[in-house]
Amino acid sequence: MIIRLDHIGIAVQNVNDALKFFEGALGMKLDHVALEEGGRTEVAFLPVGGTEVELVEPKDTDSGLAKFLAKRGEGIHHICFEVDDIDAALARLKEHGAQLIDETPRVNASGMQYAFIHPKSAHGVLIELYQKAKA
């Protein structure tokens, strides 16, 4: 079950350049910047309400994000929903014939599980599902 909208990922060529707009012009507050996916992306986290905007810069020229930027340019890359049970969510999606990028969840350094649904199954939107690490 979807709990909430966790974040909106925005693909950018350069996190620092993008921060000039999001912090300066929009007045958003940067929480932190981190290397994610084993150093393949640099992400700036900007909380707003109960969600976040994530500015995502590729650090690997062969990554899907780098290819996205080369083909489409900067802009909304994905939306992410927090789920209470990612395995059940993926099973439900499979039952409904959804095309999944990740058949099984990936796990990041903090123990969070996440998986992506192909945009072909989600009306052109790349969707990420994530489940918090269990305590």
- Per residue in 28-69, pLDDT (tens digit) is 999 999 998 877 899 999 999 999 999 999 999 999 899 999
- Using the predicted structure, report yes or no on whether residue 134 has a pLDDT greater than 90: no
Task: Give the whole-angstrom CA distance, residue 55 versus residue 94.
Answer: 30
Q: Which domains does the chain have, with CATH numbers?
A: 2-131 (3.10.180.10)
Element (H, E) at 64: helix 64-72
Q: What is the mean pLDDT of residues 107-131?
A: 94
Q: Identify the pLDDT of residue 45.
A: 97
* Nearest CA among 51, 62, 64, 65 for reference residue 15: 65
The Cα–Cα gap between 109 and 40 comes to: 13
- Predicted pLDDT at 133: 86
Q: Measure the CA–CA gap between 34 and 45, rounded to whole angstroms.
A: 8
Listed residue (46, 24, 23) closest to 33, CA to CA: 46
